[in-house]
Amino acid sequence: METAAKRTPFSRRGFIAAGVLAAAAASLEGCARPEATGDAPAQGPGSDSLPLRPSSQGAGADGPQGNGSPAGNDPLEQLLASMTLKQKVAQLFIVTPEALTGASRATVAGELTEKGLKRIPVGGICYFGQNLESAQQVRELLAGTRELATSTGARIAPFLSVDEEGGPLVARVANSGLFDVPAFPNMAEIGATRDAARAAEVGATIGGYLQDIGFNLDFAPSADVLTNPENTVIGPRAFGSDPELVADMVSAEVEAMLDAGTLPCVKHFPGHGDTPGDSHTGAAVSSRTRDQITSCELEPFRAAISAGCPLVMVGHIETPAFAADGLPASLSPTMITGVLRGELGFTGVIVSDSFSMGAITQRFSAADAAVRFFLAGGDMLLLPENLEEAYQGVLDAVYAGTLSEDDIDERVLRVLAAKQEAGIV
């Protein structure tokens, strides 16, 4: 039976270097329907030490090859030059296995997964409770998906991601009852100890068991500061209401998770702790001023970036007293490019919160939202409402010149650099 091979833990410095590498390379270049359980499992070793492999598909397979510029000796540039535009755009999406295959429920990786990856070789897949049936089944699902991704389409290993914050509210693996792993209390209880070593224990433990099972990306920890006690969306998921305390806890968890071999992704930039609304169902608006957000909400994100966190998730949070553009942060050039990239100096991968949430779907089509996200400076779009429409919308934007292929290349290089440094590919 297939199991995922263990990866060697990677250094925090490496992720900072990866961001620099991606930025330098870029400058040189200028949840639909959930997979039927009848899908036969893929056969293969499921090794996590497979090298970066260029696609064997030529231009006639799915469109023109890149921009035709010389790749030089850099392996990432060589890989990028070997990819078609369609393959590059696909790398910028993280989707459910159901959205990839069009089936009702995904518990194995087989023919439908292979067809989906060949057609749209996405950069990552996110798993939920309905995908988890048994410990062995989950290991085979992840190992099989990785093997298929590295043998078809763009031939690039995907992010295999999950929401595993710890606590009774958001822990898909620990709360499934399928694995003999430690269960943690809410992060509010961890924060109340004011002992960063407890947060490090959370990161080391969760990062360790996710890595052992075969996941490589965790959408955690929450870097939100609970400034509004009436906020029930985040509530006890946050470490606390003191920005310095939250910053200490977040940086400790990030460092420990990286050392354990799993990529952390801090969330929900620029901070979800004040919003009375729930972005799952509609608009989430923060009433905080620019000075308040800068000195409080952003502090844990600064700490996470300093700790080497390779990914940051941007939430659907409107800041009328800060950006004042009427847009959720996930679509705001001010918040993504101006603040996260510019003011905070983040060079890693910027991921959106789920684009199947009401804060997005009630105002924008899948295609429009996707194009807006990339124009704002985002790198990877999480869970579009309709993968086909979002994917085609981005391609159409490139064909029309709204997005340039250099824009796409810059984002793909960041994604590939993070994967390479983490040993995912």
pLDDT tens profile 147-167: 999 999 899 999 999 999 999
Q: Cα 327 to the chain's mean position, in Å?
A: 21
Q: 311-314 and 349-352 as β-strands: parallel, antiparallel, unpaired?
A: parallel
**Confidence (pLDDT) at 72:** 65
Least confident of 32-41, 126-135, 327-336: 32-41
Active site residue 280: yes
Residue 116 has pLDDT above 90, yes or no: yes
Tokens standing for residue 187: 């992060």
> pLDDT for 324-382, tens place per residue?
999 999 999 999 999 999 999 999 999 999 999 999 999 999 999 999 999 999 999 99
**Confidence (pLDDT) at 282:** 63
Residue 27 has pLDDT above 60, yes or no: no
Section 304-329 average pLDDT: 96
> pLDDT for 51-65, tens place per residue?
222 222 333 334 434
Positive or negative CA dihedral for 280, 306, 246, 323? negative
Do residues 54 and 66 make contact, with C-beta atoms less than 8 angstroms apart?
no
- For each of the domains in the chain, give its residue range(s) and CATH number, in order of start: 12-31+72-422 (3.20.20.300)
Mean pLDDT, all residues of the chain = 86
Label residue 284 by pLDDT band (50, 70, 90).
Answer: confident
Residue 21 has pLDDT above 80, yes or no: no
φ/ψ of 314, rounded to 5, equals: -100, 130
**Confidence (pLDDT) at 214:** 98
Label residue 71 by pLDDT band (50, 70, 90).
Answer: low
Q: 164-166 and 159-162 as β-strands: parallel, antiparallel, unpaired?
A: unpaired
What is the rounded CA–CA span in Å between residue 70 and residue 249? Answer: 45
> pLDDT for 90-104, tens place per residue?
999 999 999 999 999
Catalytic one of 353, 379, 407, 409: 353
Burial of 27 (0-12, 13-18, 19+ CB in 10 A): exposed
**Confidence (pLDDT) at 278:** 52
Label residue 114 by pLDDT band (50, 70, 90).
Answer: very high
Residue 10 has pLDDT above 80, yes or no: no
**Confidence (pLDDT) at 409:** 98
Q: 170-171 and 164-166 as β-strands: parallel, antiparallel, unpaired?
A: antiparallel
Reduced DSSP (H G I as helix, E B as strand, rest coil) percent helix, strand, coil of the chain, to 5: 45, 10, 45
Catalytic one of 280, 325, 368, 406: 280
Residue 9 has pLDDT above 80, yes or no: no
What is the rounded CA–CA span in Å between residue 101 and residue 41? Answer: 14
Label residue 16 by pLDDT band (50, 70, 90).
Answer: very low
| pTM, full prediction | 0.85
Higher pLDDT among residues 9 and 336, named by residue: 336
Burial of 268 (0-12, 13-18, 19+ CB in 10 A): buried
User: DSSP characters for 225-264?
Assistant: ----TT--SSGGGSS-S-HHHHHHHHHHHHHHHHHHT-EE
Label residue 67 by pLDDT band (50, 70, 90).
Answer: very low
Instruction: Report CA dihedral (67, 69, 70, 74) to the nearest 10 degrees.
Output: -60
CA angle 109, 110, 112 (to 5 degrees): 100
Active site residue 353: yes
**Confidence (pLDDT) at 279:** 57
In 3D space, the residue among 42, 38, 263, 7 whose CA is nearest the CA of residue 145 turns out to be 42
HEC assignment per residue over 121-169: CCCEEEECHHHCCCHHHHHHHHHHHHHHHCCCCCCCCCEEEECEEECCC
